[in-house]
């Protein structure tokens, strides 16, 4: 009888955790600044770039699963995408990977569903590789392997999800030796006719699985204590 009660309690805890996971673990947009117009701002993966980055603060905490960005038609489907911590309003050059907190080479092909010449690029990010804390400032950088891609400017209304504080920046890797160019120096962008220069991109994340696991273990523990008490 006791064994039956234990199995029932653990099954109930598992079912509740499953429901919570289904409700909480679905991917959600934690930052988005939709595009306004294309720009002449090139972001090129090369030893001297130029490579661009823009800051963001996510609306919720979670593990990054997908990244998207908008811009002109790229000459290659291969991209270098990086996240940086913030250092006094600029990307932190003391992070690993030549100044990047997390960095991957991804493949993405642009789509232009509305025919306005601003293409949307989307790529999957390695799960549990980059955790974002809500309200914390980070920097996002994307650069194409070809030298002709330009990053679209964010719309005048600002981000629709999350917040941003600083203008976008550019690095030509002068401090990188033969590597780079993410180790800086980073300089604020000057884009003709745009006093505030912010770039168009979107970050998708899911809640931290460890939190759900601990919750499940706690529920299982409660079930076991009730079993022992019985």
Q: What is the CATH number of the domain that holds 107?
A: 2.60.120
Residue range of the domain that includes 3 = 1-25+209-230
pLDDT at 25 over 50: yes
- The per-residue pLDDT for range 165-217, each reduced to its tens digit, is 999 999 988 767 655 688 788 999 875 555 668 999 999 999 765 545 544 55
* 180 shares a domain with 119: yes
* 153 shares a domain with 117: yes
* 106 shares a domain with 42: yes
Number of structural domains found in the chain: 2
Q: How confident is the model at residue 98 (pLDDT cuts 50, 70, 90)?
A: low
pLDDT at 227 over 70: no
User: Using the 8-state DSSP alphabet, how is residue 96 labeled?
Assistant: H
* 221 shares a domain with 161: no
**DSSP assignment of 167-199:** --EEE--TTSTTS-STTS-EEE--BTTBSS--B
* 119 shares a domain with 65: yes
* 223 shares a domain with 173: no
Contact in structure between 164 and 86 (CB atoms under 8 Å): no
* 41 shares a domain with 144: yes
CA angle 46, 51, 55 (to 5 degrees): 150
* 173 shares a domain with 75: yes
Both structure tokens of 12: 């109930």
pLDDT at 39 over 80: yes
Averaged pLDDT of the chain: 82
* 134 shares a domain with 44: yes
Query: 144 - beta bridge partners?
Result: 44, 79
* 214 shares a domain with 186: no
């Amino acid at each position: 009888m006791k064994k039956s009660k234990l199995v029932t309690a653990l099954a109930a805890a598992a079912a509740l955790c499953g429901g919570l996971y289904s409700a909480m673990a679905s991917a959600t947009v934690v930052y988005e600044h939709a595009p306004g117009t294309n720009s002449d701002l090139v972001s090129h993966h090369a030893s001297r770039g130029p490579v661009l980055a823009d800051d963001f603060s996510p609306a919720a905490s979670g593990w990054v699963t997908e990244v998207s960005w908008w811009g002109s038609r790229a000459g290659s489907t291969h991209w270098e995408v990086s996240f940086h911590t913030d250092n006094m309003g600029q990307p932190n050059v003391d992070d690993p990977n030549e100044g990047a907190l997390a960095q991957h080479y991804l493949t993405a092909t642009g789509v232009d569903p509305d025919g306005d010449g601003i293409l949307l690029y989307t790529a999957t990010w390695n799960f549990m590789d980059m955790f974002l804390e809500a309200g914390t400032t980070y920097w996002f950088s994307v650069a194409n392997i070809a030298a002709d891609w330009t990053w679209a400017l964010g719309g005048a209304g600002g981000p629709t999800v999350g917040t941003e504080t600083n203008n976008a920046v550019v690095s030509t890797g002068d401090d990188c030796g033969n590597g780079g160019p993410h180790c800086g120096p980073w300089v604020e962008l000057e884009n003709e006719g745009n006093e505030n220069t912010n770039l168009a991109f979107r970050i998708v994340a899911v809640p931290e699985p460890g939190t759900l696991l601990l919750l499940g273990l706690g529920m299982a523990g409660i079930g076991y204590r009730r079993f022992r008490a019985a």
